[in-house]
Structure 1
Amino acid sequence: MAEEQIVVLILGSTEKHSATAARRCPRTESGRMQSATSFSRFVRPVQAAVRLFSTSAPKTAGDEKIVAAVLFERLPVVIPKIDPVVYAFQEFSFRWRQQYRREYPEAFLKKAEARGKGDYQIDFTPAPRITEADKSNDKRSLERALDRRLYLLIYGTAYGSNGEPVWHFPEKVYESEQTLRKCAESALKLVIGDLSHTYFVGNAPMGHMVMQPSEKENDSALKRFFFKSQVIATNKFNIGKCEDYVWVTKDELLEYFPEQAQYLNKMIIS
């Protein structure tokens, strides 16, 4: 009996709600249009959300290309020169400490100097900091600017250059590689042939640049992602797949890219 009363109450409330809804939205042509408009307002955000979380998007002629570029660097071989201001401060600090140093007996100092003398003392002549490559300004050699970082630039056709040879970093258009770093490794391997003397720093790019095509170009826009790689245990590479190449310092590199100099100056530390 109680269950029948509950069912009657539910049915009664449902009929009452339906009658109220019918009075508010009469079954007219305008009412159908209003309902359709309200429904479309609800569906459009849902469709937009589906497109937002979709794993694939329809490709068009204006899609952006993704390019992986490699900033291939040789680390300093010798200790960089000390700045004159830093050198003056260190000399002043040394003289200041000498005034208040602990003095030892002279006999004790002579024994310390005489211990092992002539047994393992090695005489050597330090290598010159200025090499023959520095004197001849041979930018194709790694035996130059030993106290600076050197970066590899190649001369040839690049994506977005309309088939004209330009100076650029080793790069490759992303196609079907597993990751973007794999694409960068392929780009460097095409240039130097072997990656056994290279080390890629991390899996993420160190920076990216968006390049918009000019009005005369038919190519689509591109996003160029830069990956850092370093030279390991060698001073010579058999570089190919290009017309020319150079190893340049940061200051020299910025002269090759005057339009992107401000961005590259921030991305490259030294």
Structure 2
Amino acid sequence: MRRTLTSLARSLPPARGFCTSTSEKIVASVLFERLPVVIPKIDPVVYAFQEFSFRWRQQYRRKYPDEIFKRSEERGKGDYQIDYVPAPRVTEADKNNDRRSLQRALDRRLYLLLFGTTYGAPDGKPVWHFPEKVYGSEETLRKCAESALESVIGDLSHTYFVGNAPFAHMVIQPTENVPDLPSFKRFFFKSQVIATNKYDIGKCTDHVWVTKDELVEYFPEQAELLNKMIIG
């Protein structure tokens, strides 16, 4: 005997809702990074191998008559001359250790940190944190992350969010040292700097652009998590 759609719908288990406590907050946090501007220096071991490979190939390379090299040297000769001076890899911001500037550590990834009040800060005191916002009435969690970053830099035209889903999360719970700390979950989204080297950072007391190694200095208790979720 055929079962009607109504009876079939009644027999199905109820749809699962979003599993979280009504009192537990969800925070969307943005890992805002600037990709390397220049090619990183070659590791000494890699450089030594490339030098060895070049010399090895030179032993067995095909030898051409000297006349061919003379003809190639005569090509393209003229009265013009191009003076090319490459830009320095070490900038003034590197020399002065100016962490508020994007013009530093050009061969490394930089990450934006803010100093100010945020959800879950002990006693409401300002702390170092990523751009973040408590999830409220936004359509998606990514929309919440976009709103958090927009409130800091004012415009998202020079940003690119990598994916629609968070790439990492952490659970914050009260500890013996901070028993009044609220319990909440922080989900991390990744966004990247696009076609600019300066932002007007607001909604904070201070800000820094730091490398992965420097980032651990600000969050020593979360060093293991940061090392796993961030590419150096």
Where 1:184 maps in the other structure, the secondary structure is helix
1:149–1:118 CA distance, 2 compared to 1 (3 A): farther
Partner of 1:234: 196
Where 2:148 maps in the other structure, the secondary structure is helix
Higher relative contact order by CA 8 Å / sep ≥ 6: 1 or 2? 2
* Structure with bigger gyration radius: 1
Runs of 5+ unmatched residues, structure 1: 1-48
Runs of 5+ unmatched residues, structure 2: 1-12
Partner of 1:128: 88
More helix per residue: 1 or 2? 1
1:98–1:268 CA distance, 2 compared to 1 (3 A): same
Greater mean deviation of Cα atoms: 126-135 or 116-125? 116-125
CA contact under 8 A between 1:201 and 1:228: conserved in structure 2?
A: yes
- Percent identity, aligned pairs only, is 75
* Alignment: residue pair count: 218
Instruction: Output the amino acid matched with 2:129.
Output: H
CA contact under 8 A between 1:78 and 1:147: conserved in structure 2?
A: yes
* Aligned mates of 1:106, 1:196 — CA distance in 2: 57
* Aligned mates of 2:118, 2:40 — CA distance in 1: 34
Q: CA deviation at 1:149?
A: 0.5
- Report the TM-score, using the length of structure 1 for normalisation: 0.76
* Aligned mates of 2:20, 2:226 — CA distance in 1: 33
How do 1:236-251 residues align onto structure 2 when only pairs under 5 Å count? 236-251=198-213
* Aligned mates of 2:99, 2:47 — CA distance in 1: 30
* Aligned mates of 1:228, 1:54 — CA distance in 2: 28
How do 1:56-135 residues align onto structure 2 when only pairs under 5 Å count? 60=22, 63-118=23-78, 122-135=82-95
Instruction: Output the amino acid matched with 1:126.
Output: P
* Aligned mates of 2:25, 2:75 — CA distance in 1: 69
Q: CA deviation at 1:151?
A: 0.4
Deviations 1:238-263 (A, max 9, x none): 00000000000000001110111101
* Aligned mates of 1:80, 1:119 — CA distance in 2: 36
- Report the TM-score, using the length of structure 2 for normalisation: 0.88
Query: In structure 2, which of residues 79, 90, 98 is the aligned counterpart of residue 138 of structure 1?
Result: 98
